[in-house]
Structure 1
């Protein structure tokens, strides 16, 4: 079997394989690369000794049975579970995504246990499962954003074979799979890449320290390393799309950016395989160039999360005004209306949170609505709160139904966060399992300091290292059977079905969306083609002029009176309805 590793700064490289040591030789055709031939089988353990130090796991290794500080294991990629093609008609324009964390979606916290719950998702009607990061990280549990081995699958979840089985099961159920990947940093514990070469650079600094080397000397190989990892998820595991974490934090001054290179490579793979692969960005820049085609001078990603939509909707529902919500709190329904017709609230407007103007306008003539994802809850927007409290902790079932209505009938590709569909009462808290005691204490004290600035007492903040914090964040699958949760779940199913069957609700034309609202009385209506959506966030009933007669109710959270001869409709408090001619 051929083994190879990039170690450009090393004078001698050897490989430790199943207890035997093999000297490696320089590849004369590839600068910095070392190769060796040795007998190996699926599961063989190996690592590399660099100038006598190590052995360290393979940076491109697919499996780390003992975690990132142990040896790699050989994986026969061809022997992974078969991956039937996903059901047709699941491109982004028709998509409804469902974000989940493998470790807390089920009590077992494994790919196989998550696969056993796919029937719930097909009954809900979503089209894609979006997995939070699954690459290997230190410790047994965590959110996954401190991964240190971008090619390897976290062993406690089930390793590479478990991920392949999950993808195969999802495809067999007609569901696509999106995987969250992190290229802007690697975790601080178990990261052995610096021993191999210039994977990081102090030319730039990020919130996590030195930057991943995308533009300094040696960056060609670092880019190839990350590109290869991204394509491997799509090619070898049958993943249908990637969510790219915090692309605004990618420090990259090269003329051809890493994101453009990745976009081109994924488009080429899609063309070669005939599969509709896509890339979804998380970005706080409010920059439409992120999803503008490369041929038009953009980066060429296929969609991006729209936090402005979330923030406006959250403020309208809760009245909160702290931190970044301050930009939306003065007139949240007006802000929400703007996002629903122009995508970004910050399109060159003043941001009091940032102390400067922010964003860039979206050209609605050239930018379809499915370039953006809309959501009322995500792992970040819940878990970055002090207590990890969901909307269900403070809102009535009626207001939760209103949030679902705006998200699922609005112009953007809807994304749900696991458990929101039944109003889960379990929190989603920030949890870690760092084996390094100093790092564990730094994370614990840092989180307490962060929230102390907002008036929280240290003892009120859940300890990320306490296993109970993780346990509290697991979904309670007995809840959907309870009446109050079952009613909301049925509402979500109804709305998802309406979206998937009614073409007007998937119309990509942002300029065609018409929104009216009353900030004081807290109601909002919007039109998507022939469909009219009414949402009353007030506890009091309101009367809204629809401007026409003869409408029929497609769905209503509370019973509605039919419009009178003057075209007015009476909407109960904290309720929503979807209407059509």
Structure 2
């Protein structure tokens, strides 16, 4: 990417004039045609396939098309699509009266992430619905929300990964101004904002990119057809496009971090990978503004190069999602070993995930049918995001079942403890904290009948390895979306309220306890007994000791505890407060832990005048 910016992409308001810039390297002429009033603004060709103009004859809220060699198309860098993906773009004035001048983004190690989907998080299905519930999230202990993609997609119902206008905020959610208000409100509550972005493919409906130039290439085969053109001829156009998009979210929306979707699906063999260019763009902006921004990757390659610094030719991502921790944890809790769960071995692999982050570190993977993975040695724990469920792991089940449907309350509390005491950044999925029973299903609202049929067919074929009989909910049916909307009245019912109080206490412990707050992978020793289904976590930091005992088995277990310290409970998943009927008992140097429960205990050194008590 050219480090010297000519002007932002698309139609942007700068001071008292509008700058217009579009990449169309093979076009003979390009016009920006505005409506009401109708004006044609002729763009001038520039180097490397760009077209440019400045004008005072176009204003905020005005709609327009680009006319490329006589054909009218929406702006590929549109900031607004008020009438949908096939209709004219609209000018947006992104200047905003921010109140977050004194806000400081916390370090990643202090993130407690809450992933949410704007459309299903609240009954209003928009940014305002999130703003209204920020006090709730603050009280829960959340320090960062992660928003599933909001780039404009077809219709009003979508997970967001079918976005076709990367610069336009979904109009039905509240558009650009709604997102800015949400971020500003989050920062007032000292809550960071992570935005999920998709740079590995573009949605199929409303995708006019190829009308402008070679944004895509047939050089690689992908599940979505042509690959994004990061390393073929004319690749500088899409590379500029993506880096400018990342910069826009940080600069114009004050987003604190981007979660980069499925970076393993990006095909790029350039000397400088597109992720490295995004990293450099982010670093330049941080130097300019003094603000901190993070890049968090979703990646299933177990390749630490994604986390290594640019100086080592790494991609320098600040963190990555840790799917293998999830897989091992779920199998330990009793998840049926189907699909990619087949090759995970419960507590043994969970113990390895605690210690080494990656489970597959070079051994043979039967699921992938190859030797897979690398060591994450030397990579700090706060470069990994751990979870017991997320939008993928819930929504990619045929019936969208959450853990609250699949596991007992005891196991839900145990899995939450396993995540929250890990040496990684913890993430919750919306509604998890009160054990919501509402499913999170896959939904779309396309207008192309052939595309709708293809989505239905693909969705049905996806579950042949995971499910037997049963009908896949129709992604296009509005009922599928409605069934996925959180029921906020549910959390006030006694059973759900107890789970919510448990999560609050668990998060408070993570944030306040010296050992857990400063937890590093090197502070942790792990042992396990696969036959008994038990895992023991031994934490040492700054002279303090914690022991975590996690019993995933269906029977009670007994542990002898070190006699050189006195011990007290810090948190017990089997406490009566959470509705459990058989709390953990400490007697005569032995801990008796009920089935499917866990306990955190703190040790204090015995002095010469004390004696150990049971």
Classify the TM-score, shorter chain: over 0.9
Q: Corresponding residue for 1:299?
A: 315
Q: Distance in 2 between matches of 1:264 and 1:506?
A: 30
Aligned-pair distance for 1:572? 1.9
Aligned-pair distance for 1:403? 0.5
Q: Corresponding residue for 2:594?
A: 572
* 273 and 394 in structure 1: CA distance in 2 versus 1, 3 angstrom threshold: same
Q: Corresponding residue for 1:41?
A: 59
Q: Distance in 1 between matches of 2:67 and 2:182?
A: 34
Query: 517-526 vs 59-68, which deviates more?
Result: 517-526
Aligned-pair distance for 1:546? 2.4
Q: Corresponding residue for 1:272?
A: 288
Q: Corresponding residue for 1:70?
A: 87
Aligned-pair distance for 1:412? 0.6
Aligned-pair distance for 1:77? 1.2
Q: Distance in 2 between matches of 1:212 and 1:267?
A: 24
- Contact kept? 2:551, 2:597, Cα under 8 Å: yes
Matched, 1:357 2:371: yes
Matched, 1:183 2:214: no
- Contact kept? 2:30, 2:51, Cα under 8 Å: no
**Match for 1:408 among 409, 420, 424?**
420
Q: Corresponding residue for 1:441?
A: 453
Residue ranges of structure 1 left out of the alignment (5+ in a row)? none
Aligned-pair distance for 1:455? 5.0
Q: Corresponding residue for 1:378?
A: 390
**Match for 1:505 among 491, 516, 533?**
516
Q: Distance in 2 between matches of 1:437 and 1:101?
A: 26
**Match for 1:547 among 548, 562, 569?**
562
Q: Corresponding residue for 1:347?
A: 361
Aligned-pair distance for 1:482? 1.0
- Contact kept? 1:83, 1:238, Cα under 8 Å: no
Q: Distance in 2 between matches of 1:265 and 1:451?
A: 40
* 546 and 502 in structure 1: CA distance in 2 versus 1, 3 angstrom threshold: same
Q: Distance in 2 between matches of 1:402 and 1:86?
A: 38
Matched, 1:519 2:530: yes
Aligned partner of residue 359 in structure 1, secondary structure: coil
* 561 and 335 in structure 1: CA distance in 2 versus 1, 3 angstrom threshold: closer
Q: Distance in 2 between matches of 1:89 and 1:259?
A: 22
Q: Corresponding residue for 1:333?
A: 347
Q: Distance in 1 between matches of 2:206 and 2:135?
A: 36
RMSD: 1.6
Q: Corresponding residue for 1:388?
A: 400
Q: Distance in 2 between matches of 1:61 and 1:377?
A: 34
Aligned-pair distance for 1:506? 3.5
Aligned partner of residue 459 in structure 2, secondary structure: helix
Aligned-pair distance for 1:508? 5.0
Q: Distance in 2 between matches of 1:478 and 1:326?
A: 37
Q: Distance in 2 between matches of 1:266 and 1:427?
A: 36
Aligned partner of residue 497 in structure 2, secondary structure: helix
Aligned-pair distance for 1:85? 4.6
Q: Distance in 1 between matches of 2:266 and 2:367?
A: 22
Q: Corresponding residue for 2:303?
A: 287
- Contact kept? 2:81, 2:90, Cα under 8 Å: yes
Aligned-pair distance for 1:26? 2.2
Q: Distance in 2 between matches of 1:208 and 1:60?
A: 21
- Contact kept? 1:86, 1:171, Cα under 8 Å: no
Matched, 1:419 2:440: no
- Contact kept? 1:426, 1:472, Cα under 8 Å: yes
Aligned partner of residue 460 in structure 1, secondary structure: coil
Aligned partner of residue 318 in structure 1, secondary structure: coil
Q: Corresponding residue for 1:260?
A: 276
- Contact kept? 1:7, 1:34, Cα under 8 Å: no
1:347-405 Cα distance to aligned partner (Å, 9 max, x none):
10111101111100112xx3110010100001001111111111111211110000100
Q: Distance in 2 between matches of 1:36 and 1:87?
A: 35
Aligned partner of residue 591 in structure 2, secondary structure: strand
Query: 155-164 vs 448-457, which deviates more?
Result: 448-457
Superposed, 1:212-223 pairs within 5 Å as 212-223=228-239
- Contact kept? 1:105, 1:114, Cα under 8 Å: yes
* 88 and 478 in structure 1: CA distance in 2 versus 1, 3 angstrom threshold: same
Q: Distance in 2 between matches of 1:532 and 1:513?
A: 10
Residue ranges of structure 2 left out of the alignment (5+ in a row)? 1-17, 576-582, 604-614
Q: Corresponding residue for 1:472?
A: 483
Aligned partner of residue 421 in structure 1, secondary structure: helix
TM-score (norm: length of structure 1): 0.96
Matched, 1:536 2:551: yes
- Contact kept? 2:320, 2:384, Cα under 8 Å: yes
Q: Corresponding residue for 1:118?
A: 134
Q: Corresponding residue for 1:12?
A: 29
**Match for 1:157 among 173, 181, 205?**
173
Q: Distance in 2 between matches of 1:283 and 1:438?
A: 31
